[in-house]
């Protein structure tokens, strides 16, 4: 039985989707479940999202899409990152759609689809200024003109990605949208119609209402987070993940001893008086950053306790001196306990990180449980 778990609150996922739909006036939802659903459990979350009538699931890589298919999903899935030529058969075999950023990949996929007498569906991804994914704007028309005579390729979507949607200055975002709208109109004038038009990530949903088109791509907001807590509060989101463990052992430490890997000059902890510590089986192999050594706090019995000594691969130590903490007491690393809470924003700030990274790096060793 797993001691350390990530509880995933499905009621809060449903709440967050409702807030997103209200904000976007019920546009199609492409729900991002890449990177293990931002650490929330890709398969478990994907199954729940299908009960919420999302139009698409979005992933970064083809192997993520294949895992979802192998778990029994038969809905639309879009792979966002440009695939390799050799991946065409996977897209065909598992009925996966590609966001095309490369003319060469398109031609390779079209050739393979023709050989197998089947249709590959996809979206045209245009780069409007982020210079990460997507093809150059000037290639959009040649791309669609090429596709129109190819019965084995069907492009049903047009998309881009906003680079600065979570920033206060909206000038660059507006420039991207102007470029996107210009290419959309040009394609439309040539008779190229798209069932799905989308460019809004979670921050775009909040800050760029004109960018909602007819589909949006929420990711982090589904899980109750945004780049900062103020944005999440403005969206009225509820956090979805709680990271919990238990005290597995309590140890008395005499004055003058070191705790943990004391031979490391970067992370020594010296007991200045007699202490009692609790061991918690979560470490950097589970996703706890080692740079939180001697900074991490956790909740036990509704109170905050400080970690002491270096965060190890499999566990960390907590100063419980003078408390009534005992073996098998619940430990909360992220989440609420009684009237106390440790938020993902607090953990991210301590680690000089971002909320996305803090949940996305929780490893598979931490069992996800839907609650």
User: Do 235 and 201 meet the contact criterion of CB atoms below 8 Å apart?
Assistant: no
Set 27, 34, 76, 244: catalytic member: 34
CA distance 35 to 305: 31
Name residue, tokens 């003078």.
322
Residue 359, both tokens: 């949940």
Question: CA 152, 144, 124, 108 torsion: positive or negative?
Answer: positive
The candidate with the shortest Cα–Cα distance to 356, out of 9, 132, 38, is 38
**Which sign does the torsion angle of CA 18, 19, 23, 29 carry?**
negative
Active site residue 213: no
Cβ–Cβ < 8 Å for 260, 288: no
Half-sphere exposure in the Cβ direction for 315 (13 Å, CA): 16
Q: Are 297 and 357 a contacting pair, CB within 8 Å?
A: no
Residue 270 burial (CB count, 10 A)? 12
Active site annotation includes 47: no
Catalytic residue among 261, 267, 303, 336: 261
Q: What are residue 274's DSSP bridge partners?
A: none
Q: Which residues are annotated as catalytic? A: 34, 261
């Amino acid at each position: 039985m797993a001691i350390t778990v990530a509880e995933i609150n499905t009621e809060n996922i449903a709440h967050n989707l409702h807030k997103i739909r209200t904000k976007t006036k019920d546009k199609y939802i492409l729900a991002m479940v890449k990177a293990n659903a931002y650490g929330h459990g890709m398969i478990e979350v994907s199954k729940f999202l299908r009960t919420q009538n999302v139009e698409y699931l979005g992933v970064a890589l083809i192997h993520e899409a294949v895992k979802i298919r192998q778990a029994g999903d038969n809905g639309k899935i879009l792979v966002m990152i440009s695939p390799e030529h050799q991946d065409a058969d996977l897209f065909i075999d598992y009925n996966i759609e590609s966001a095309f950023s490369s003319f060469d990949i398109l031609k390779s996929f079209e050739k393979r689809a023709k050989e197998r007498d089947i249709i590959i569906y996809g979206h045209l991804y245009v780069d409007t200024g982020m210079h990460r994914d997507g093809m150059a704007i000037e290639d959009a028309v040649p791309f669609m003109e090429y596709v129109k005579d190819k019965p084995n390729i069907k492009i049903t979507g047009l998309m881009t990605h906003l680079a600065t949607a979570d920033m206060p200055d909206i000038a660059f975002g507006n420039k991207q949208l102007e470029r996107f709208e210009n290419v959309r109109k040009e394609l439309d004038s040539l008779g190229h119609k798209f069932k799905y038009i989308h460019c809004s990530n979670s921050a775009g949903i909040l800050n760029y209402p004109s960018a909602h088109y007819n589909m949006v791509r929420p990711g982090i907001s589904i899980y109750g987070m945004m780049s900062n807590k103020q944005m999440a509060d403005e969206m009225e989101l509820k956090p979805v993940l709680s990271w919990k463990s238990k005290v597995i052992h309590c140890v008395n430490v005499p004055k003058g001893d070191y705790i943990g890997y004391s031979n490391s000059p970067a992370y020594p902890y010296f007991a200045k008086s007699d202490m009692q510590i609790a061991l918690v089986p979560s470490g950097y192999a589970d996703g706890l950053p080692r740079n939180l050594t001697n900074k991490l706090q956790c909740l036990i019995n509704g109170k905050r306790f400080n970690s002491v000594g270096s965060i190890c691969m499999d566990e960390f130590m907590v100063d419980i001196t003078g408390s009534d903490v005992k073996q098998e007491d619940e430990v909360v690393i992220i989440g609420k306990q009684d009237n106390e809470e440790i938020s993902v924003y607090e953990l991210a700030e301590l680690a000089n990180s971002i909320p996305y990274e803090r949940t996305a790096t929780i490893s598979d060793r931490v069992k996800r449980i839907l609650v």
